[in-house]
Structures are given as C-alpha cells and as structure tokens.
Amino acid sequence: MTKWVYTFGDGAAEGRAGDKNLLGGKGANLAEMCSLGLPVPPGFTITTEACNWYYANGRAYPETLKADVTAALDHIAKLTGRRFGDPARLLLVSVRSGARASMPGMMDTVLNLGLNDETVEALAADAGDSRFAYDSYRRFITMYSDVVMGLDHEVFEEILEDQKAQLGHELDTDLTAEEWQEVIGLYKAKVEEELGRPFPQDPQEQLWGAIGAVFSSWMNNRAITYRRLHDIPESWGTAVNVQAMVFGNMGETSATGVAFTRNPSTGEKALYGEFLVNAQGEDVVAGIRTPQNITERARIDAGSDKPSLQKLMPEAFQAFVDISERLEKHYRDMQDLEFTIERGKLWMLQTRSGKRTAKAALKIAVEMASEGLITEEEAVARIDPASLDQLLHPTIDPKAERNVIGMGLPASPGAATGEIVFSSDAAEEARAQGRKVILVRVETSPEDIHGMHAAEGILTTRGGMTSHAAVVARGMGKPCVSGAGSLRVDIRNGTLLAMGVTLKPGDVITIDGSNGQVLKGAVPMLQPELSGDFAKIMEWADKIRRMKVRTNAETPADARMARSFGAEGIGLCRTEHMFFDDDRIVAMREMILADTEEGRRGALEKLLPMQRSDFAELFEIMAGLPVTIRLLDPPLHEFLPKTEEEIAEVAAAMNVADDKLRQRTEALHEFNPMLGHRGCRLAVTYPEIAEMQARAIFEAAVEAAQKTGNPVVPEVMVPLVGLKKELDFVKARIDAVADEVMAESGAQIDYLVGTMIELPRAAIRAHVIAESAEFFSFGTNDLTQTTFGISRDDAASFLESYRQKNVIEQDPFVSLDIDGVGELVRMAAEKGRATRAGIKLGICGEHGGDPASIRFCEEVGLDYVSCSPFRVPIARLAAAQAAVRKR
C-alpha cells in the first residue's frame, strides 16, 4: 500500500533530507532537522505523490489518506499532549505547501488552523492571554478566507483600517482583546455576506479545506508562471506540511524571523536576518512592519535604533546561532532558516539551501572550499553559470554625478535604468515594445512575477531585505531597491513623489541595487571586470574543463573585452559586420550593386585596406591565439540601400543615375533572402569577393606576425556550404591568393581552410566535405533554422505561443534542440572524424554560450565553443561542469 503520510517530531522522523522528491524540500528538511534532534514542532508531511494522485483523479484524495492523516494527528497528540479539535487540550496546526524546488511565495500557507468561536476561548485560557487568542483568530479568518475560500484579504484590511481609525489606533498591536473580538465579529459577518455561507467552525472541515487549497495552489497562475520561468515540471507536485502551531505572537517574549547563515547578497560569512517581536511569519514576509536585525553587528551597520535579537532575547539568540552553524556544516551549504520564538523558547520551522546573488554564490563557494567544507570541484559545480550574467552587467560609474532622489535597502545588486511603470502589465507591455522599464510598486506580490521579469529593475517603497520583491529579484538576478520609504507611490494619480519631485510613467530613473540609491535620469555605467572570487572560480574551472572557449567578435573593443574575460581566440569573425560604418557602407553597397566584375573589383579595391587593418588589429589583440575569419555571408538585402537618400548617395559614388541603381536594387530583390544568394554562393558567383578577403587576411597575418613576433595562423571559414564542390571552388581561390601573398612578401603563411556546418546537407555529407575541410564550425543558428524550417527572423512571433502551450519546452534558437539539430551535429562530428582524424571541431552559433548546449558539445567531444564576449565566463564555467559530469 502506498504510504501517503510521513510523520516527524521529538528527535525522530520517517523521512530524510534525501526524500525531497517525495516530501518536498520543506518536508524533507523538517524531517532531517528532527532527526538531528533540533527543536521542530511535531507534524507530518502529505507526499507529492498524493498531490499527483489528486490531479490524476479529478481532485479527489486517495482512499486511505483520511485514516493516515488521523493517525498522524494522533502522533502529534502523543508528543504534545494536545488533540486537534479538543478544546480541553487544544492543538492548533499550520498547513504549508512545500514543492521539490523552493518556490518562494508562490503557493499557500494557513496558520492557526483549528480555531473557532469555542476553541479561541480555550486558547485564551491556555495562554492566559485573550488578546493573543483573538489576534490569532482574526489572522486565521483572514488567511483561511483568502487561501481556502477565495475572499481577498483586502476586504479584511479595509475593515481593520476603519476600526483602527475609529478607535484612534495606529498599529495592529494597539488593539485590545475586546477590540479584536469586535473586529472578528465584523470579519465573520463579511464572510457570510460575501460568500453566502458562514466561516467554517469544524476543525476537520478547516483542515481538509486547507489541504485541498495547498494542492490546488500547485495549479494557480502564479505557480504556473513561476514553474515556466524556472523550468520546474508540473509533474513534480507539491507536498503539504501540517505541524503543531508555535506562536510568535504570544506577547513581548515571542518573535518570529528569517535568517541566512551567510549574507545572501554579498556572501559575507555572518549570520544575517530579520525578526519581528510579537508577530507571526506572514508579517515578516509581507513587509508591513519593518523588521529588526538579528545580530548587533547588523543593527549597527544598518544604523537601526531598534534592538537586535541578540540584545533582546540573548538565550534564544545563542541557541539560534548554535543551530544555524550546525545546519550549515551538516548541509555543507549556506542555509535559509525560519524560526519562531514562543515565550523565549526557540523553534525551527525551516531550513533549506539559501537563494543568493551570483556575487554571494562565488564568495560562499570560494570560502567554503578554503574552509575545507567542500572541494574546489564542488565549488565550481555549485555556481549556476547563467547567474554569472548578473556580474557581467554594468554598474554605475563611481565618477558619475548622482542625482539622488530616494534611498532604500540594497536588496539585489547591480544598477538599472529605465522608464517608470507602476504595474506589472505595463512593464510587460513596454518590454514587448522594446522599452526598458523600472517596475515601481509599494510592495510586490506573487502576482507581479511577470512584471518583475519584464523590468530591468524593481523599486519598492515598503518591505525589508526579505520582502517578496527582494527575494524574488535576487533569484532573478535583477537589481532591486526595496523599502524606499522616503518615496511615495500615488497610485490614484499614477505618480511617484520623490523629494519634492513628481515623476510620471515614462520618466527615466536609475536604481543602484548595491547601495539602495534611487537616481533621477540615466547615469553613466561601467563595464564589469573579472577579479576576486569570480577570477578564482574561473581559475578552478579552467583546471577542470577540456573544451576551449573562444569568442564571436569582429570589433577590437569586443575582442579585447572577450580576452579580458578569458577568451582563447576568436571562433567567428563575421566580416560583413565590419562594413556597417558610415564610411564603409557606401563602398560595400557599390560592390554589391555593381553589375560587372570590373565594377565590383573597383569597390573591392576600396574595401581591401579597411579589411586588412581590421584583421591585423584582431590578430594583434589575440596575440597568437587562433582566429577564425568567415568570408562574406550576409543575405544581401541587409546591405541594399533602402531610402531614396541612400540610393542617391551610392549612385553618386558609382557615378550612375539614381534610376539605374534603383533598377539594380529591384533586380537583387529576393523572396527569401535567408535561403537566397548568400554564404559561399556569393563567393562562387563573385570569386573576386573571396579573393579580396583572402588577400586582406593573409596580408594582415604577415603584418601582425612581423609586428608582434607572435605567429599568426588564420583559419579561413567558408559559410553555408552544402556541397563539397562549393568548398573546393572557394578553397582553390583562397589557396591561390595565399601563394601570391607568400610570393610577394617572402613570408611563410600557415593557415587552415574550413567550413561551417549550418545546412542539413552539410551534416549528412560531412565525411565527404571533410576531405577538403580542415575544420568544422557548427553554425547552429542557421542549422536550427534550416533543420526546423523555421525562419530565425520570424520565429519570435509564434514560438512564445508554442512555449506557453507546451508544444516546445524551450526556444531552439536559445538552447540547442539536442534530439534533432543535436543529432545532426553528432553525426557530422563523427563523419568528419572518420575522414580526417583529429579534425578541429567547434560551435559558433548562439548556443555556444548556453550552458545546456555546452554540456552537449562536451558530450560529442567538440574542441571548443565560441560565444559573445559577455558569455565567455559563463561558457568557461559551463564547460568545466560539463567535463565533471562526463567523468
């Protein structure tokens, strides 16, 4: 028989940390903490399998579940001496969701469950505190009505605000027991008025309502969105954790809080967290009250005058410090902890590996390796390569003038500039139009995930370092400033008031998530560099990886930046990109539009010196590292003059009439330029183009070798080859030019001629093409386009719909389609090697910078990946992780 329920409590548990798939992260770690003998309120976990059963059976429960839950409640009764639903020995429970991967704030929680008009009196008598009992009951009604009955919590907040105004109270904590009782009466009446049925009084009905709500929350919109953004499969399901309540709201010696064993923003090794006195968990996360610091040091650093936990409750604090150290050692990772102190006694409610910024991840990994807690290889394995992107984005130039209009908490590092928007929908709309925005909210909630995703950065006026905005932004790697209390969002008028300035949607601001500043306008930014912990991890990764990492670059600036990020050569220099400058485009157009070979040669004469000096500079920057230069490839329409002004300009340069040029432009029109006269087809029809480029390459090689003393071995790459004869035709021209340049200069030139594999036919005929090609570089952008028959220029309009409808999991232009396109790559690699053992193999499509695709490249044994400069560090790390996996 399937076991649906696992109990824990009092130093023992049926589950373990390794049971995450079955018990969810929270449940597995509660079990583990129990087994370690830590103070955890006893309880039980209903498995993720029960959730899957629930969905597979029209939202019904497995037959034996009821009996299992009853037995588990008995187990709690045995350990606590309290019984669920029994006013004489009252047991209240919390019900929390817990999926395999943590999904902060995505699903639902109900606290204080089991309270009703009768048990609330028992709770009051039990605690000797009726104010506390009514406070708990009103919280329960609010949460339960919201989560289980679908009544928005705002209706209750309105009632409470009205009551507070009438009574002249400012804070919730100012209300007396009697006043809360009155509020509860109004709450219950509201439930009945809105839903047409009374608030449920039967604890069993309450419990099953909450269990059903947690299971159902797995399919709510925000959970679905979160899963899509984080690639979490729907089939995982969520577990439900039911635990004996412990109360952080039992007066001034009670508290609740969250903490990280190291700073999740910087990685510094110091306990870091926040708590609230006389409060329950949701108060901390909701950001309604500003929390206090846990340690004295953090309090002093934050300049807060509210006492720290260390000062206020030294014994509970010390117990917490001991436990946090123990848990970090046990899990060998930075932990994210939740706790409650009930009348001085500490209870642990959660531990899990803490989410952290990329910067913190690097520091923590490097320090844990030097502490001997983990190995260098584990340190490398722990960094998410994609997260490095956060560190490879600009920061504000320290010399820049800062027009500071507000200040908040440095919730997630990095700087971002954008137009103000006040809603997540507006953020998404703007993003779709290609505009950059900063999402400005009083506070964010899980409904804002899509807007946070669309925004460059997030600014909130309320909430702490662990508020929803802060936690989610850090996870997404977006800059965030939270709790900027001096700013005021005026939702009604759609304005942001900041130090006497009124800002409207569309006005530009900059946020600095590293120090909490909010600045007016755009500010100069600095390019990132690779140093400190980042450099250390890269050094360790380089020791592990087998594949080389090159860059796709054609400008000296990109080539230099890529080298500073550790690129080991250029894998793709797209020569056509060198002709977009104002002074060059006219000559380029002249060349394309000439209708005679003579005309073309005239234009090519002008282009030759420009190309030569470009190449020489690249060779010098790369100082002897391999440089692959691709012959002209573009679909010609990219270069055709479009406006009348452009036509006139080129006509003048060519000394022909505008009309004649217009006719020639029309004659060159193609219905499908991507599959038209491009790639090596240009070199076959107009060999003089390839000859000019080859000459520029070889002359530059001679020049750079003489100048720097480094030998230069250019790799000349022929694009879009489908037939071996195409390659042979072009290669013969290249070889002839090489001979000429050697004869003219008297220098020996070593070079390779190879091809891109970007057409299915090339992959299929790779064994034949390899007879002539000295290297292959997989152009997976075109190979994806031609394998799928999906135009890379037009894919965006429908691929997102495919993704949403689960027809595809990922955009194949972003992450390699391993089953299809990957199969062609694998086959071509094998066939190429069969003909020419040791043929040099690389990839230069966008996939060369995508970690999952890089893993595949390691599997098929490519020699290198090549990617854009900013992705070079990501590729270095991903290549190392791929090498470890393959071992």
* Least separation in angstroms between CB 737 and ligand PEP: 23
In the list ligand PEP, Mg ion, none, the entry touching 687 (Cβ below 5 to 8 angstroms by class) is none
Cβ proximity to Mg ion: between 541 and 627 the closer is: 627
Contact of 865 with 780, CB cutoff 8 Å? no
Nearest CA among 755, 882, 885 for reference residue 828: 755
| Residue linked to tokens 């003909």 | 835
Return d(Cα 456, Cα 449) in angstroms, integer.
13
Cβ-based nearer residue to ligand PEP, 456 or 758: 758
Q: How many CB atoms lie within 10 A of CB 307?
A: 14
User: Is residue 403 close enough to count as binding ligand PEP by CB under 6 A?
Assistant: no
Residue 780, contacted partner among Mg ion, ligand PEP, none, CB below 5-8 A by kind: ligand PEP
* Minimum distance from residue 480 beta carbon to ligand PEP (Å): 34
Angstrom distances, CA of residue 704 to CA of 568, 691, 699, 747, 752: 18, 20, 9, 12, 17
Q: In sequence order, what are the beta bridge partners of 269? A: none
Helix axis angle for 130-147 and 177-195, nearest 10°, is 20
Is residue 530 within 8 A of residue 873, CB to CB? The reply is yes
Helix spans in 259-403 (H): 281-286, 296-302, 309-312, 314-331, 358-370, 376-382
Is the Cβ of residue 510 or residue 575 nearer to ligand PEP in the bound state?
A: 575
The Cα-based distances of 622 to 298, 551, 569, 669, 811 in angstroms read: 47, 11, 6, 38, 33
Residue sitting closest to Mg ion (CB): 782
Identified catalytic residue from 51, 468, 573, 680 = 468
173 binds ligand PEP, rule: CB under 6 A: no
Q: Is 714 in the site for ligand PEP (CB under 6 A)?
A: no
Instruction: Please check whether residue 561 is in contact with residue 865, taking contact to mean a CB–CB distance below 8 angstroms.
Output: no
Give the Cα separation of 110 and 584 in Å (integer): 67
468 an active-site residue?
yes
Q: Please identify which residue in 844, 854, 874, 883 interacts with ligand PEP, judged by CB under 6 A.
A: 844
Q: Which is nearer to ligand PEP, 416 or 592 (CB)?
A: 592
Binding range to ligand PEP, per CB under 6 A, among 235-243, 302-310, 762-770, 776-784: 776-784
Q: According to CB under 6 A, which one of 406, 513, 845, 851 is a site residue for ligand PEP?
A: 845
Least Å distance between CB 561 and Mg ion? Answer: 23
Minimum Å gap between C-beta 272 and Mg ion is 48
- Nearer Cβ to ligand PEP, position 14 or 554? 554
Mask 567-586, x = binds ligand PEP (CB under 6 A)?
-----x-x------------
End-to-end CA distance of the chain: 39
Helices 582-593, 597-622: axis angle to 10 degrees equals: 140
Other beta carbons within 10 Å of 555: 15
Q: Which does 845 bind (CB under 5 to 8 A by kind): ligand PEP, Mg ion, none?
A: ligand PEP
Pick the catalytic residue from 844, 847, 857, 867.
Answer: 844
Residue 759 and residue 721 in contact, taking contact as beta carbons nearer than 8 Å: yes
Provide the minimum distance between the beta carbon of 574 and ligand PEP in the complex, in angstroms, as a whole number.
5
* Residue placing its CB nearer to ligand PEP in the complex, 29 or 780: 780
Q: Identify the residue among 779, 822, 832, 842 touching ligand PEP (CB under 6 A).
A: 779
Chain centroid to CA 295 = 30
Tokens of 637: 């329409």
In contact, 274 and 302? CB cutoff 8 Å: no
Q: Which stretch binds ligand PEP (CB under 6 A): 46-54, 301-309, 505-513, 779-787?
A: 779-787
Question: Residue 620 binds what, of ligand PEP, Mg ion, none (CB under 5 to 8 Å, by partner type)?
Answer: none
- Closer residue to ligand PEP in complex, CB, 90/567: 567
Contact positions toward Mg ion, by CB under 5 A?
758, 779, 782
- Token pair of 306 as six digits: 């509210």
Q: What is the spatial distance between Cα 121 and Cα 118, in angstroms, rounded to a whole number?
A: 6
Which residues in 682-711 contact ligand PEP (CB under 6 A)?
A: none
For ligand PEP, the binding residue among 172, 782, 817, 858 (CB under 6 A) is 782
Mutual angle of helices 119-127 and 130-147, in 10-degree steps: 140
Residues in contact with ligand PEP, counted by CB under 6 A, come to a total of: 10
Give me the torsion for CA of 537, 880, 554, 711, rounded to 10°.
90
Smaller CB separation from ligand PEP, 443 or 782:
782
Q: Min. distance of Cβ 553 from Mg ion in angstroms?
A: 16
Phi then psi for residue 746, to 5 deg, are: 75, 5
- Smallest gap from residue 690 Cβ to ligand PEP (A): 17
Nearer to ligand PEP, 115 or 867 (CB): 867
Select from Mg ion, ligand PEP, none the partner in contact with residue 351, using the beta carbon and a kind-dependent cut-off of 5 to 8 Å. Answer: none
Active-site positions? Answer: 468, 844
Residues of the shown chain interacting with ligand PEP in the complex, contacts defined by CB under 6 A: 572, 574, 633, 758, 779-782, 844-845
